[in-house]
Chain A
């Protein structure tokens, strides 16, 4: 953009949102140049200058959003909607520069109709603050992504988010009743409720990652806060046995809030593994390192630079795994669910570890993200890679991804977000290399291997982190000509192609 056109854009924006709510200062442009995609972090460590947005604007309400979209249409300025930038796929990177539109000033609760089981809340509302606001009133959304502390309602909807209790409350798409959207043509629209039939516009905007329009508010389902919780940890003989418990529970129509099965390495890391001990030696070092403990980091870097050895050592871990369950609701339901889960667990020979693991999980449900800093600080990297598939393929997919990505990174996983038909596998990749550029190569290789393997296995290449830039390469193969549907929607809703260009499917061929 020429200086003159930047000035014109900024003038126009200032006229809409007020001078205090537009910025082109270097600190703001740097802060908005990335989200929490670890690849961007590695770029930063490698000293690669980020691609900066031209400007950032903070609209106050839907009308201002609509005016900004109209201005950007007129000036052909790309718009990147921005929630809290907690996305981990590069969804907010301004790859075509342009305007980053931060929605967080839209943070009002517009309507709470507890008797109708819904709340309408603006897109920029922070998740944790919303959940506390609801809890104050004896309600909950039941949506607890690990990023709840640092993400927004609009980001959840746009990136098809899943919370830790999705097996009971559903993913975000199961919670949306209707949406207010400013589509790329500048129109303010409210999606129709889909109860009775007809075209499912909610399904179109959920997961659209800002490519079709700006979500300005969402009507979501709310539930009474659970009055009771039953916690349990089980040591299951192996992964397959744990998966069997999860599958049978969901197919029996149970709705546990949490069903979370850790693989042997993740079990070791979680530490509530009954009688298993890491002892000393490399696994202990690894555990300490991954937990961000211990000083230096040399041992951690060494292990993560030799992933085959590390993964090989993990193969020697005992097979038993930790399965954490939390059942909640009215006391009767929580109890009945817990009892039924216990019956399924006993059938596979699981050992009851009591309430401890479940309670520990709840108390530390968001803490794992703190480990990230320690690992990067010690010169290594970590990322997560989640996929989903049907029960018949889960174990094989797990093994295949471990095998393929395990050549490049240390791999561990847990299995969660269970449905009657299958579940998601949430892999953690950790790696190291002598320098930042080699780290990027290793990182890219691991992702490529993971995505190729998931695609080859007929699995979904993501479960809830979205596409952004990190999965874009595999969207075509994953969806075939369905991309034409996307292009048709895009042409209709965003005729000038200004909405988050380059994301999800990338530019039309």
Chain B
């Protein structure tokens, strides 16, 4: 029997469905897969009751059963978390074990993992701990049209196209992550702070790239225009090339207290929201032209930077291809 109407759910796989089955809570991953396999209409994942239930044409799938965090694999420091767990919950769990994900942008703190994956947010300003997605070791997802993906927990995707990454940035249409493994790290507190002033964006960004090439790996850093100068604030944890940063960065040193104050915020909840996704990304040389007074540079890398606030939308050609592929997926096996 297939679940064609919201009034006719396969309640056997749910622990809860409200009147009219507009909000269903699957029992487990298999139950979710079965729900998605049988229900072919539009659905929206949520954790707990939706803020605004909307009309009858909409079904909410409550992912609360996938909010757990743990265990952490010995040695590999791979933490398992349900897709509905928040970054803050994961980091909290790890902190108790002397581990960390590295800096979690404040804006993500209360966001469930599945939402971040659906947005395809992948960067964070941490040369030391790498991109968020470098730290994604495995994802298991329930697919629209039914079925569960499987993936070995492995440091790098090894065979075929990266199907787990198909989930990224595709909204929840590509599937709902029920279980995620993330790389955790030994917690090494930030022990040194640096604030460096530059006459302009070109000097600041070139200094940053030179520092990276020199082997500096700040645990976090950011570049922002302040008045007529550009300031780089950076925090270092463990052996991360502080000396090389000082050698290669150029600019003129400012009071490290500036960086320290910001660093305390970066490592916890409550730092100013960061609009990941609403940003322009491109090569350093172009970024220099785009970054203006008031700009902020996120995650400087030698081959590209993200300038906050200057969003470019998705490429329409690719967006329609993604749409077509998702349509096939939603059509079921």
Contact = CB atoms under 8 A, between A and B. Distances in A.
Direct contact of A and B (CB under 8 A): yes
Interface of A: 113, 115-118, 160, 162, 171, 173-174, 177, 189, 191-201, 203-209, 212, 221, 223-224, 247, 251-255, 329-330, 332-333, 336-337, 340, 387-393, 417, 419-423, 458-464, 466-467, 471, 475, 477-489, 491-493, 504-505
Instruction: Give the residue among A205, A337, A492 with the most B Cβ atoms within 10 A.
Output: A492
Given A113-B285, A200-B120, A486 B163 contact: yes
A482 B299 CA distance: 31
Nearest to B217: A253
Given A117-B209, A485-B149, A475 B75 contact: no
24 contacts: A116-B303, A117-B209, A177-B303, A193-B304, A195-B123, A195-B279, A196-B276, A198-B314, A199-B319, A203-B165, A206-B162, A221-B302, A221-B303, A332-B241, A333-B241, A393-B76, A420-B183, A422-B76, A458-B153, A466-B159, A471-B159, A479-B150, A484-B329, A489-B161
Nearest to A333: B215
A115 B159 contact: no
A387 B155 CA distance: 11
B152 A460 contact: yes
A466 B160 CA distance: 7
A171 B156 contact: yes
A162 B157 CA distance: 11
Contacts of A198: 120, 169, 277, 314
A199 B326 CA distance: 12
B177 to A, nearest CB: 12
B174 A485 contact: yes
Interface string B215-243: 10100000000000000000000111101
B244 A421 contact: no
Contact of B156 (A333, A458, A463, A475): A463
B132 to A, nearest CB: 11
Contacts of B164: 482
B154 interface: yes
Interface in B122-137: 122-123, 128-129, 134, 137
Contact of A251 (B77, B321, B324): B77
Nearest to A200: B165
A104 B278 CA distance: 39
A90 B251 CA distance: 54
A481 B75 CA distance: 29
B283 interface: yes
Contact of B147 (A174, A221, A480): A480
Given A189-B317, A330-B244, 13 more contacts: A115-B284, A115-B285, A196-B311, A197-B119, A199-B168, A206-B162, A224-B213, A458-B153, A460-B159, A463-B156, A471-B159, A482-B163, A486-B160
Given A332-B247, A478-B150, A479-B151, A254 B162 contact: no
A459 B152 contact: yes
A135 B146 CA distance: 51
Contacts of A480: 147-151
Contacts of A160: 157-159
Contacts of A336: 215, 239, 241, 243-244
Q: Size class of B's contact patch?
A: 35 or more
Contacts of B157: 160, 173, 203, 207, 460
B78 interface: yes
Interface string B312-331: 10110111011011101100
A482 B155 CA distance: 18
Interface in B264-317: 276-277, 279-285, 299, 301-306, 311-312, 314-315, 317
Given A189-B317, A480-B149, A487-B328, A390 B155 contact: yes
Interface string B163-186: 111101110001100000001011
Contact of A459 (B154, B325, B333): B154
Closest 5 CB pairs of A and B: A333-B215, A481-B147, A195-B281, A480-B150, A390-B76
B65 interface: no
Contacts of A173: 156-157, 162
Given A389-B154, A419-B155, A467 B324 contact: no
Interface of B: 33, 73-78, 119-123, 128-129, 134, 137, 143, 145-166, 168-170, 174-175, 183, 185-186, 209, 213-215, 217, 238-241, 243-244, 247-248, 276-277, 279-285, 299, 301-306, 311-312, 314-315, 317-319, 321-322, 324-326, 328-329, 333
Given A115-B285, A206-B162, A467-B160, A191 B120 contact: no
A423 B156 CA distance: 9
B153 to A, nearest CB: 6
Given A332-B241, A487-B328, A201 B318 contact: yes
Contacts of B175: 485
A420 B303 contact: no
A255 B301 CA distance: 16
Contacts of B33: 481
A54 B67 CA distance: 55
A196 B152 CA distance: 27
A391 B161 contact: no
Instruction: Give the residue among A173, A203, A206, A390 with the most B Cβ atoms within 10 A.
Output: A390
A482 to B, nearest CB: 4
A117 B284 contact: yes
A204 B185 contact: no
B318 A251 contact: no
B120 to A, nearest CB: 4
Contact of A481 (B149, B152, B169, B301): B149
Contacts of B305: 195
A482 B159 contact: no
A42 to B, nearest CB: 23
Contact of A193 (B146, B282, B333): B282
Contacts of B279: 195-197
B236 to A, nearest CB: 10
Contact of B159 (A162, A458, A467): A467
Contacts of B128: 253
A421 B161 contact: no
Contacts of A459: 152, 154
